Structure 1
């Protein structure tokens, strides 16, 4: 069960945004990721709780940020309920999309599990609902994902070699491209994300 800490920053000007303290593991339903988020000063700012089914679809999502809350799942596309800080009002949404995305590293793992791309294969387009910090405002976007390389690294531990996947991700509306490196269910590097600490090796997914 990987457990560790990511630092988050603005991918454009590198302003520190805080940290995400996480743990994740495959389970009977698929995969679960839970995390607590803190500001650069160490104050608690939110949480992430994401469960995927065995096909990589969001079985259950619960996000908290700046007193806002979103609960969502794969249902007729993706469906969610967003609640305001007072808890008096809730708005529902539904979009014909494949999954969710946002600033949490969990979403990168989720998309890779959903797509299950082949190294060197063609790019695949995916429609997502992005939940934008800090108020978790939803917007629909399209991305293109391609698995451009898979490298096996030897390690000095008894857990065996480490397989690292390199993805090329493009924003369809702007053409902006970036690279994401994943090892099992851990993000090694991505725009705005740095893996600062990892207490145990990544978990490997079944094919």
Structure 2
């Protein structure tokens, strides 16, 4: 069960945004990721709890940011309920999308598990619903994912397979690179793996 810590920063100006303390593991249903997010000062900022089925679809998502909360799942596309800080005005949403995304590294792993790409495959288009912080406002985004390269690296615990993805935002054309090893993000824009207590789980297709 990988357990560790990511540092988060603004991908454009590198302003520190805090840290995400996480653990994740394959399970009977598919894969689960839980984390606590802190500010640069170490204060609690939010949390992520994401469970996927064996096909990579979101069985359950629970996001917290400040006093805001989102609960969602794959249902007629993706469906969610967003609760305001007072708890009096919950709003529901539904979009014909494949899955959720957001600032957490969990969503990069989740999208890779959903798409199940191979290095020889062409780029695949995916529609996702992201929740922008700090108020978890929903927004639909279209991305293109391609698995550019898969390499095995020797480690003390045996070979470690690293996948390099090229992700393109289809509304702006902006491209970036994501490196994954199993269910752990090694590097991505705004994300750095700072500490890992055990090797990544092999949850690749």
Assess same fold via TM > 0.5.
yes
Contiguous gaps of at least 5 residues in structure 1: none
Residues 158-205 of structure 1 show CA distances to partners (whole Å, capped at 9, x for unaligned) of xx2100000000000100000000000000000000000000000001
Alignment pair present for 1:48 and 2:48: yes
Query: Which secondary structure does the structure 2 equivalent of 1:173 belong to?
Result: coil
The alpha carbon displacement at 1:206 in A equals 5.7
After TM superposition, the runs of 4+ consecutive aligned structure 1 residues lying more than 2 A away are: none
Partner SS state of residue 144, structure 2: strand
Matches of 2:51 and 2:197, distance apart in 1: 21
Match of 2:81 in 1: 81
2:195 matched to 1:189?
Answer: no
How many equivalent pairs are there?
A: 205
Name 1:201's counterpart in structure 2: 199
Structure 2 partner of 1:173: 171
- 1:110 is aligned to 110
TM-score calculated relative to the size of structure 1: 0.98
Give the Cα–Cα distance (whole angstroms) in 2 for the partners of residues 150 and 31 of structure 1. 21
1:22-171 mapped onto 2 (5 Å cutoff): 22-157=22-157, 160-171=158-169
| Aligned residues of 2:79 and 2:94 also touching (Cα < 8 A) | yes
Q: What SS does structure 2 have at the residue aligned with 1:37?
A: strand
